[in-house]
A = this chain, B = another copy of it.
């Protein structure tokens, strides 16, 4: 009973042509104020909504930005999405969400769907499994703009936005040193992640500057599962001189590690202290949270990613200047008041 009402319908009722209606709705100056007004009124009266699909087909755009990330439930990522949605919605773009669950195969599948759907842009944080990146190149070959964020694989020529974790690790380590800690351990992330290397470099740079020794026994890598974190932390504690402070890959790792310490009877922030990355809001509620955390500004990362996509989509398609944008946000060391 409810016929979808189109531009043609409006035209029919007003005894004018569809093209005139279209132009009137776009406030094209070539249409007389009188007709324009009439069209707008009729459109309102009939509750006309333009068909986005038809428009997309005509314009060769979909109005969709895709967001591909490992796990939406991780606070960091949902905060990124928060920023993305905010800005994208303001510019009439739809945000399509996809989770890789940190699985390479799933990531590949997702990107191939995106290629088919011809989205206008993709924001991607790669799965920790991913070691090979043809699937990304594939999108680029199809002229779909890609912004890599946070987890940025090497050697892909495209836009990126991240937070300078080398600096974050450096500052965190320096801060620990300035508070008198001498045996600072690093509970780092898995190897494939560039973010792990960044943290490592910052950590080492700070230690050297502070004339503290860099000891292999104090540096562990975890695969980001709670089990492995527990294992590695236990190892740290079993060394002859156990660390008096730990720089953890992120808050989740820190929390898991702290559990281990507690179980071994250590008092957090007294016997051993933690600093980590991410600044989870919930740690504020804890009795013994990490002393400090490196804020990565995920909301801002999300906004920036969208800004980049908007700038390449809205402006001319090519400009013959590829000019990939690479934004590196400044981290911020947030010290908790104890």
Contacts and interface: CB of A to CB of B under 8 A. Distances in A.
Interface residues of A, number: 48
A248 B133 CA distance: 47
A19 interface: no
B73 A79 contact: yes
Contact of A96 (B94, B115, B258): B94
A196 interface: no
A85 B98 contact: yes
The listed residue with most B CB atoms (<10 A of its CB), out of A53, A64, A92, A115, is A53
A116 interface: yes
A72 B274 CA distance: 28
Contact of A72 (B49, B82, B142): B82
Query: Quick one: copies of this chain in the complex?
Result: 2
Interface string A98-122: 1100000000001001011110000
A95 B98 CA distance: 8
Contacts of A255: 282, 285
Contacts of A2: 141-143
Given A53-B53, A116-B49, A75 B73 contact: yes
A52 interface: yes
Given A95-B96, A98-B89, A285-B255, A62 B72 contact: no
A57 interface: yes
Given A142-B2, A255-B285, A286-B286, A82 B73 contact: yes
Contacts of A57: 51, 53-54, 57
Nearest to A59: B53
